[in-house]
Chain A
């Protein structure tokens, strides 16, 4: 049962343009969402998060949008840079006593071309 889904395995974008990465979830109990970025042969690093009480959170070039009725979130990167090329995972924590028990999507490989 894939509770967090990233249906696009890959995305290719030109430098300077917008990158939009999408994520869908099925569990309506999720109340917090995160995006992690991962370079090859490295561990994931936290990028940005959003609470379910908000519909948007912005941090520099990165903005995450949450549509609770559609159970959908997206990560916008503007402007995209070649250094943004990585795998992006969306994730949701289980909460309760399972702190840090994250459910991850399958990831989207972003390639930003110079």
Chain B
């Protein structure tokens, strides 16, 4: 299966700890997007990256959140000093090119629970 792979699928952290979520895009895809889904809400855009570059991070909280997509390896969404409000499902999506039609391939998500 060459789909978008996310891990871990489930992550439990205590307040103040760090969470790292990983995303391997579909084979050949160099564009990665992170979305967050809070309970009872739709998905909200966080950040758009191409290899080694952040293209649009307008949806990222200003503090504690960062994302990277290195030349080698998966994209990482990092949340420092987690708080209960960070509990959510985090979805990664990828595309072959900078799609202007929004047809993205999503992973199964990483569910973060902050105790």
Contacts and interface: CB of A to CB of B under 8 A. Distances in A.
Interface string A75-90: 0000000000000010
B91 A32 contact: no
A94 B33 CA distance: 13
Interface stretch (B42-50, B64-72, B78-86): B42-50
Interface of A: 4, 6, 32, 34, 36, 41-46, 49, 89, 91-95, 97-107
6 contacts: A43-B109, A49-B102, A93-B101, A99-B99, A99-B100, A102-B45
A65 B97 CA distance: 27
Among A92, A98, A101, A103, chain B packs the most CB atoms within 10 A around the CB of: A101
Interface bin, chain B: 20 to 34
Contacts, number: 84
A43 B48 contact: no
A92 B43 contact: no
Nearest to B46: A101
Contact of A49 (B31, B103, B105): B103
Given A100-B31, A105-B42, A91 B102 contact: yes
5 nearest interchain CB pairs?
A43-B106, A93-B102, A99-B98, A104-B42, A104-B43
Contacts of A95: 100
B33 A100 contact: yes
